[in-house]
Structure formats: C-alpha cells, structure tokens
Amino acid sequence: MIHLAKEDVRHTLGKFIVTAMGVGMLLGIVLIMMGVYRGMIVDAEVLLNDINVDLWIVQQGTLGPFAEASRVHDDLQYTMQSVRGIAKSSIITFQNMQLPKKQGKIRVFAVGYDVFSTINPINPERLISGRALKTDHYEIVVTDKTGFSLGDKVRLGRNMYTVVGITHGTVSSGGDLLIFISIKDAQELQFSYSNKRIQTDRAR
C-alpha cells in the first residue's frame, strides 16, 4: 500500500504538491478564523468582566445596554436599592464618540459612571498609570492605545478634560477603545447640541 502511494506521488508529483498546498492553506484559514473568533469573544467580555454586575436594568422593549439604545430615569437606582436581594446599584452610560488628536480623530466608546458610587467599571488591574476619576467634571481615563499621556488636555464638546489615568487592554464589545468619564459629563455630552445645531434650530 505504501509502495503504491509512493509510486502515485512520483508519477503525479505536481498534483500532489498543489493538493498539499491547498489543504495546508485551508487548515491555516480555519485556524486563523478560530483565533479571530476567540479574540472577539475575549474583547467582548472585557467590559462585562470589569464592571462585574449580576443584573442589568434596561428600558422595556429594548435589547440594551450594548445591542440597542436604552434609557431609564437615573433615580431608578434608588428604587432598585430598596429591592430585597440587591446590595447596591448605580447608573452607567455608554456612547460612541471621537477623541480629537493632531493626527486625526480616534473612535472610542465612552463609559460614564457615578464617581462616588461603589460600582466602579475601571478595573484596578488594568490601570497602568495615574488614578481613577475623583471629581464629577472634566477628568478622563483613557486606554494606552489612544496615545495620550497623563496630564494631556482633551477637548470633548465645549470643555477641556484632563487625562488622569491610563488603562491597558480595555475595549468595548465592538472592539472600540474605552474611555471613562463621570456620569454628569457623559450626560452633558450626550444631550448637548453643537453651536451649528442650535443656530439651525433657531432659524427654523
């Protein structure tokens, strides 16, 4: 059997090489796809694991908080604290935005949270420099992939924010780089209109 196989390979060496290369490429593609898929799963779980909560409260009829926009009143957190079995609760916001840099704009996923809450989405193990947020306004924590350094000033909306902390390996479920701001700043950025929008609305 082995002798016949050797003779067949010798007489059709070209076909054998092409077939072997094709099978090798196919296996390589399968392994690459498996690696990409596993990487996507790991990225998708980063934020969930860092926040580490047991229950998400979202707007009725939505697929939030990551798959669809979802809004609830912020005082719902106090209602939830009165429910038996819930030790603590807090509000948190997610929104896509762009950070301006000299080389262009960087697409990021902004996490807004209550600085004084017991639930902190910033994992201390991922904080490689600086500190977490301590005030309600104009502080920002960024990931190292953004290229910012401690003390840098970043313009968001109409205000300047100071980089007080830098994290490593923090991405959203969609693979966007994560930044962290206070809940008050996040709400202000989310609901504030640009000057051009205000002028247009007044003209109408």
List, in order, residues 6 or more apart from 50 with CB less than 8 Å away: 121, 122, 123, 126, 170
List, in order, residues 6 or more apart from 3 with CB less than 8 Å away: none
DSSP secondary structure string, 64-102?
Answer: TTTSS-----TTHHHHHHTSTT------EEEEEEEEEET
pLDDT of 70-109, one tens digit each? 888 888 888 888 888 888 888 899 999 988 888 888 899 9
Domain ranges in the chain? 2-48, 55-89, 92-204
Residue with tokens 């996040």: 186
- Pull the structure tokens for residue 151: 């003390």
pLDDT of 16-37, one tens digit each? 788 889 889 999 999 999 988 8
Predicted confidence at residue 79, as pLDDT, reads 86
DSSP secondary structure string, 105-131?
Answer: EEEEEEEEE-TTSS---S-GGGEEEE-
Contact 82, 63 (CB under 8 A): no
Q: What is the mean pLDDT of the chain?
A: 85
Query: Is the bond preceding 121 in cis, omega lying within 30 degrees of 0?
Result: no
Interatomic CA distance for residues 131 and 133, integer angstroms: 7
pLDDT of 131-167, one tens digit each? 999 999 999 999 999 989 999 999 988 899 999 999 9
- Pull the structure tokens for residue 13: 């060496």
Interatomic CA distance for residues 35 and 140, integer angstroms: 33
Predicted confidence at residue 10, as pLDDT, reads 73
- Comparing 145 with 197, which gets the higher pLDDT? 145
List, in order, residues 6 or more apart from 96 with CB less than 8 Å away: 107, 108, 109, 110, 176
Interatomic CA distance for residues 195 and 34, integer angstroms: 47
